[in-house]
Structure 1
Amino acid sequence: MKKKYKERSARFRFWRNIAMFLPGVIVAFLIGFVGSDHPIEFQKLFDRDMLYIGSIILYLIIFGIASTYLFSSRQSYQMMEATEDEDEAYRYESQTRRIYDLATIFKGVMIVPYLLVIFFSCQKLIYEEKLTGILGKYTIPLTFLGLLLLTFGLEHQFRKTFKQIYGKAIPRNSSGAEVRELIMSMMDEAEKQICYEENFDIVFKLSNYVLPISLMAIFLVGITFQTDILLALVVVSLIYVYILVSQYKITKRYYKE
């Protein structure tokens, strides 16, 4: 059941916004007033090897979670096929799709540690004159190749499971629009309605909370550590502007003549 919205008074909302905004103002004022003669480089607080190995471990953990959910969805599907009771079969079908969706979420999250592995690998290749390890200079390329094979192997298993569960195969080399149309064609009206509501909620929170707070946080980090934050500001700002500008399409469709 959806959580009921609780109306807040204007005074409560005012002091809540002040409480959210005030810490950033205080930190910015203190930094600007006191200053910093010794800029702090955030990455020097950590060992490069530790970041590299930690990214690999994080990737393997998320890979294991996604694989476990995928295997569980297959087991649930087999139990659905084996049962003869219609109510129990319906329950297993719902469970299968729910677990598969969770596996898909973790598969998407895998891109983050994978990119971190590439980033820290490039840093090790650039800043270290001689690479050490079991395989020496071949350690990083082989690690990258191994993670790449794991990623493609898991993607292949996801495609097989999708076809098994939904009875349709995801077209090879399909675009995002084609995948969207395929998935939407398999949804009923209730599922579409839930997706529309939740996606609206996500976009609303991104444009009103997540991205503005991220911009403020990036700005404060740049002042505190005296680092170049231009690229981060540009990327987050472009996403923020894109979401806001895309609202024009909604307005145009609603008020079209």
Structure 2
Amino acid sequence: MKKQQQERTPRYRFWRNVGIITVSGLIGGVIGFLTEMFGYEKPLEIQSFFSKEVLLLGSAVLFLVAFILTITLLMCARKVHQKMLQIEDDDEAYHYDIQKKKLYGLATIFKGIMILPYFLFVIFYSQLVDLDRPGAGDMAFIFGDFTMLYLFLVLIALFFLSDIFFRKTFHLIYGKPIPRNANAKEVREFMMSMMDEAEKQISYEENYEIIIKLSNYILPISLIAIFLVGIAFHTDILLALVVVSLIYLYILVSQYKITKRYYKE
């Protein structure tokens, strides 16, 4: 069992917050002083440090890594499922059942991660095409100027193949197919119908903790970090501030729905 966290007194929390604010102010002052002394006279474009081709290839590599991990985990889950069907002992079969669901859950995580480099690749490729620079740089020796186009098509094919294999594995393990052409609400209701009460409780607790960390730590710290980067490098931070602020506001406004449902008359 985890050791229970010691209750903090109001006095301790007050001086802890004062200490955090003081240290943050000192760090901000030092950054501002150094920026004033050694800062850039011209606005610094962070994108100038990276070429679009490098970002494009980096996104492709990350996608392939996530794709390989996803497929590997799904194949392992299918093998464990086949072993479970051959076992007659209930306790041992339960052990394999937990193991296959764990593997499938990990595959779900990596499949979600795979979406990020996939969209980054699409975005960077679209920017290159928009700039009339769809070339492959140092990789042009493979398929010439069409290397990036072929890579783009391959990643799209792999993305859809992984989704098909993901759905078939779910059907094999749980005995039910994932609804096709369903919206987010319908998928959520379907997935919750597959959970028992213990799984639902764990999901509720973990999701609530994620919301608390996002609204109290990650997003406020992100806003401060963006602000400091804008000061240090004299770069345009408006778009980054708008995106983070909208996410922050969405989380806060969504609490209205929770309050309305809980205190419903």
Check whether TM > 0.5. Answer: yes
Match of 1:182 in 2: 190
Q: Please give the secondary structure, in 2, of the residue aligned with 1:183.
A: helix
Q: Deviation of residue 116 (structure 1)?
A: 2.0
In the aligned structure 2, how far is the partner of 1:176 from the partner of 1:122? 27
C-alpha root-mean-square deviation of aligned residues, in Å? 2.1
Q: How far 1:40 sits from its partner (Å)?
A: 2.3
Q: Is the 8 A contact 2:71 2:107 kept in 1?
A: yes
Instruction: For 1:99 and 1:62, locate their aligned partners in 2 and report how far apart those are by CA, in whole Å.
Output: 14
Q: In 1, Cα distance between the equivalents of 2:25 and 2:252? A: 22
- Offset from partner CA, 1:177-208 (integer Å, 9 cap, x none): 11111111111111111111111000010000
1:140 aligns with 2:144: no
- The residue that corresponds to 1:122 in the other structure is 126
2:203 aligned with 1:230, yes or no? no
Q: Deviations over 1:58-100 (max 9, x none)?
A: 1111111111111111111111111111111111111111110
| From 117, 126, 129, the counterpart of 1:113 | 117
Q: Tell me the distance in 2 between the aligned counterparts of 1:178 and 1:68.
A: 28
Counterpart-to-counterpart distance in 2, 1:22 and 1:70: 49
CA shift for structure 1 position 128: 5.7
Deviation at 1:238? 0.7
> Which residue in the other structure is 1:5 paired with?
5
- Please state how far the C-alpha of 1:25 moved relative to its aligned partner: 4.6
Q: 1:53 to 1:130 in 2, by over 3 A?
A: closer
Match for 2:144: what amino acid? G
Runs of 5+ in structure 1 lacking a partner? none
Cα gap change, 1:177 to 1:21, in 2 (>3 Å) = farther
- What percent of counterpart residues are identical? 53
Q: Which of 101, 111, 115 is residue 97 of structure 1 equivalent to? A: 101
Using structure 2 for the length normalisation, give the TM-score.
Answer: 0.88
**Which consecutive unaligned segments of at least 5 residues does structure 2 have?**
none
Q: Distance in 2 between matches of 1:21 and 1:66?
A: 44
1:209-248 equivalent positions in 2, closer than 5 A: 209-248=217-256
Report the alpha carbon displacement of residue 27 of structure 1 after superposing the two structures with TM: 1.9
Q: What is the SS of the residue equivalent to 2:177?
A: coil
- Separation of aligned partners in 2, 1:232 and 1:51: 19
Q: Does 1:74 align with 2:78?
A: yes
Q: Give 2:216's match in structure 1, choosing from 208, 212, 223.
A: 208
The letter for the 2-side match of 1:26 is V
Aligned to 1:75, the other structure's residue is in SS state: helix
Matched, 1:161 2:169: yes
1:171 and 2:179 aligned = yes
CA distance in 2, matches of 1:201, 1:27: 32
Q: 2:64, 2:95 → 1: CA distance?
A: 31
Aligned residues: 257
More deviation in 153-162 or 51-60? 51-60
Q: Could you say if the C-alpha distance between residues 3 and 125 of structure 1 is closer, same or farther in structure 2, counting changes exceeding 3 Å?
A: farther
